[in-house]
Structure 1
């Protein structure tokens, strides 16, 4: 079934429908207050649905430092030349003007759960009745020996889209003839399981056109990865001989880098490379630690409403949440946001709350019009978000099917960004 923009938004709206109910005044102040930290697929969606469906009964504040938000999903297509950077950049004016959301471009630097306040870098303090955290990912210190964020200009991660995406693309385009692009892939769990391998595909697409004798080296600590058979089939078909992957059996789990020398050490063997994309191990955005709800890396949540297991008035969405079977993806964050928004609205206004249902699809582009996908539906159980059923593209599919899959992804992107930013 083709998932176009109208169908995507309509499905989301149906899932978030509520029965009209007057707002319940919070203790000691006027309208109930919701603060959302993080303006991506989880946070922006949650803020919009709470404001829209409460019809002004809830005071919603969205805290996001970036005035223009670049989606990590579809940023690989920018690297491959299939979209422009401005096409994946989005602003928050509609959320403020149309939905009455107080959009604050600042960093949240602390959370006091006892006082129910959020401190901002600019010195302001926000009070909340419900707090929604959707801060995305940060990197685990020391995950790749020799690399930290101070080295991200020499060896970009490009796993937070925007300037890092521009930098990595410029480095790829400046590679010497016959040079080597290396990727240090992350261990599980991490944002967008197929993402590193779609990126390899997009880099190969560019190099095939501009630098056909170049080589791509993937150093991977995982024994297997998402859509592996589909990617490997596509790499052989489109980029035969260009891509080599070194898994843990051959030292892919014993890697260090030297950004100054531009070398990668693989199990004691040093490789000189020209461009190195280091994607380290990941953890929840640091505000989750500041709020005291993380377990060290991620935030355990209750599946029914995405509330933290440490505090029922703090909800955590998307990449930062340890929720069960859903992958860390933009689609998943958007789906969780609608469940959370309905639950928060119900708690604050006594509106109807329906049983939590979730869905996810991850599309990947291997080459021009060669799109593949994987996805599933989920439900909330007492223990976790549990997978109900799933689907995946098949190897050997015809060109028309693959083209339709890619076009479906383009329609989904238009739909989800409209759903996020209004």
Structure 2
């Protein structure tokens, strides 16, 4: 609650059956985006892209997947990536670093796998786009260099809008009140603060408004911190201050909170979940303050780590803010964004509607019902690459299909997910699920454990698929 304002036996299928069902569904969904594509050999046999220069800005999951699949399907293609960082640090799974479950080394991915496929990687910062000359200017080793292209793929991720919350800034985030939503130095700062916090302290996580990267992520992070504190600082608590009233995977996540931490679901969740719940605990150390309960954040005081929300004030010992987001700065510098802050695209190809021969992938794109996630970026990249090859070689562009699965943890061995498939319906990317999206509320404890293991297997799998 606010410091100055008060608001007021499971049945299931066997773990084996869940694993089999999820594996089949995830496999079908995961490869829906490429099931309508020709085999790699067939694409290699069409008109060659050997003289076609493909330049990619950004080597996150979207950019890396695009580069790798271009070289797999068109080995002679000339593929260059401009990426500011020497390595990729996984955002997905990074909240487990806060609890010590994984190290920063575990989150770090080399680009050597892409280089082994023949992808040229330039460490530099893309600055400007000349769409007439088809050139990108980038700062490399302190000097500006120009890179020509025939097709340009932009996959820059998101920019965190720190200053959208009064009192917050990039300087504050990099020193005393980290976000850590782009994994790296801030993730390490937050980890150190949790370790240093006295038992009985309060961790406050300020959740973001929609749209944002990794929809279940803030609630997973809150759960993992609650679990860790229960082991090492059991008198401490975690409070989520939220500008929203719901979130993706909310029912299954809240049920996990109830079983693991004694959380009392607010209405209308309580009525929906009651028959699957355990008895809530009066001393539950996890609290979720929704927008309707006064949770919309208004400002922070960095000096006292105090959050002012619509319902009142709450003082934190550790304050973690996930601010609003928009497409990363380079997308705006290139002229690819609209008033939403994100990039409009041709939904069949992910080609920009603002500049021809420029494609936008992943979190920066406006992809309608598709969430902003690594899984989405991975399937978008495959469909985009196939469309690019079809356009250049005049072999046709197949009707696209995409998939996404967002995995999350309510605890170290309590996994959950949302799985979707997508096609274009009435001109928009829409969900076309033929199965339930979410984990069954009646799933057994063993099934939740299997889901947590599947999550970790997926992280290894998608990393290998994107980066080689």
TM-score by length of 1: 0.93
Find out whether 1:136 has 2:157 as its counterpart: yes
Where in structure 1 do 4 or more consecutive aligned residues deviate above 4 Å? Answer: 6-16
Which residue of 94, 104, 111 maps to 2:113?
A: 94
* 1:72 corresponding residue in structure 2: 91
1:208-287 to structure 2, matched below 5 A, reads: 208-240=230-262, 241-267=284-310, 269-287=312-330
Shift, 1:16, TM fit: 4.3
Cα distance between partner residues in 2 of 1:369 and 1:309: 44
Which residue of 34, 52, 65 maps to 2:72?
A: 52
Contact 2:63 2:154 in 1 (8 A): yes
Contact 2:62 2:362 in 1 (8 A): yes
Shift, 1:251, TM fit: 2.2
* 1:356 corresponding residue in structure 2: 400
Shift, 1:10, TM fit: 7.1
Which residue of 162, 166, 172 maps to 2:184?
A: 162
Q: Structure 1 stretch 6-15 or stretch 144-153: which is displaced more?
A: 6-15
Shift, 1:273, TM fit: 1.0
1:5-404 to structure 2, matched below 5 A, reads: 14=35, 16-18=37-39, 19=42, 20-23=45-48, 31-56=51-76, 58-96=77-115, 98-122=116-140, 123-140=144-161, 142-152=163-173, 153-240=175-262, 241-267=284-310, 269-296=312-339, 297-351=341-395, 353-381=397-425, 383-389=427-433, 391-404=437-450
Contact 2:239 2:289 in 1 (8 A): yes
Contact 1:302 1:323 in 2 (8 A): no
Q: Structure 1 stretch 40-49 or stretch 345-354: which is displaced more?
A: 345-354
Shift, 1:418, TM fit: 0.7
Contact 1:302 1:384 in 2 (8 A): no
Aligned residue pairs total 414
Q: 1:351 to 1:418 in 2, by over 3 A?
A: farther
Shift, 1:86, TM fit: 1.6
Residue 391 of structure 1 aligns to a residue in which SS? coil
Query: Could you list the runs of 5+ residues in structure 2 that have no partner in the other structure?
Result: 1-20, 263-283
Residue 60 of structure 2 aligns to a residue in which SS? coil
Shift, 1:2, TM fit: 4.6
Pair member with larger Rg: 2
Cα distance between partner residues in 1 of 2:306 and 2:98: 23
The CA deviation string for residues 90-131 of structure 1, in whole angstroms up to 9 with x for no partner, is 0111211x2111101111111111221111122111111111
